[in-house]
A and B are shown apart, each in its own frame.
Chain A
Amino acid sequence: QVQLQESGPGLAKPSETLSLTCNVSGGSIRNYYWSWVRQPPGKGLEWIGYIHYSGYTSYNPSLKSRVTISIDSSKSLFSLNLTSVTAADTAVYYCARGPAQHTFFDYWGQGTLVTVSS
């Protein structure tokens, strides 16, 4: 059974960089598209971007200037960096798997709350 687990600091300071990692277990990281999706408290879902195991990335244009997603296939993990964070970036961050380049998400991590506050 594929499992995804997010990890990283639960608190980030304004203007700093938010960094999260997603560990993938129970299945191959190859041949899938690995996404980050976030959800502000009490609000809806926003796709941040994805990475393929080949290193190909696609980002939401609304966040593109601040987002970098990277992958370490040897360790079955991928990571999110979001720079210059503000309170508006406070959210539960999920990692998720997509079976194709233009795709739905069939496996999700449990999510991790990141609060941006000084």
Chain B
Amino acid sequence: DIQMTQSPSTLSASVGDRVTITCRASQTISSWLAWYQQKPGKAPKLLIYRASSLESGVPSRFSGSGSGTEFTLTISSLQPDDFATYYCQQYNSYSPFTFGPGTKVDIK
């Protein structure tokens, strides 16, 4: 299986900050990577797919980049609604789908 790691595990930030979360895959996954936002007691919400494609309805302050084994999710200006946990997920064709362990973004 392809293992996913994320850093940092927790990130403290303020409204208006630029935030970057990194996701790494244990082997190359091309651009087959998605990012999700999850709030307590809620289902994950798709933000980004194919590493950099913004899901419909997701604010443009969210962006994704990367390919191969290293990926980033960037929030250009953190808003109060963005405090949540973020997960990456790989969907490479030769492996079961796996998620990263999550990055919790909390208030500084």
Contact = CB atoms under 8 A, between A and B. Distances in A.
Nearest to A100: B91
A61 B95 CA distance: 9
Task: Name, among B55, B96, B99, the residue most crowded by chain A CB atoms within 10 Å (CB to CB).
Answer: B96
B105 to A, nearest CB: 15
Report the contact-size class of chain B (Cβ under 8 Å from the partner). Answer: 20 to 34
Given A45-B87, A45-B89, A61-B1, A105 B96 contact: no
A117 to B, nearest CB: 21
Interface string B34-55: 1010000011111001000001
Main secondary structure of the interface of B (DSSP, over half): loop
Contacts, number: 54
B102 A44 contact: yes
Interface stretch (A13-21, A83-91, A106-114): A106-114
A60 interface: yes
A60 B98 CA distance: 9
Dominant secondary structure of chain A at its interface with chain B: loop
A72 interface: no
B4 to A, nearest CB: 9
28 contacts: A44-B99, A44-B101, A44-B102, A45-B44, A45-B87, A45-B89, A46-B99, A47-B96, A47-B97, A58-B96, A60-B97, A94-B43, A94-B44, A102-B91, A103-B97, A104-B34, A104-B49, A105-B34, A105-B36, A105-B44, A106-B46, A106-B49, A108-B44, A108-B45, A109-B43, A110-B42, A110-B43, A111-B43
Interface of B: 1, 32, 34, 36, 42-46, 49, 55, 87, 89, 91-93, 96-102
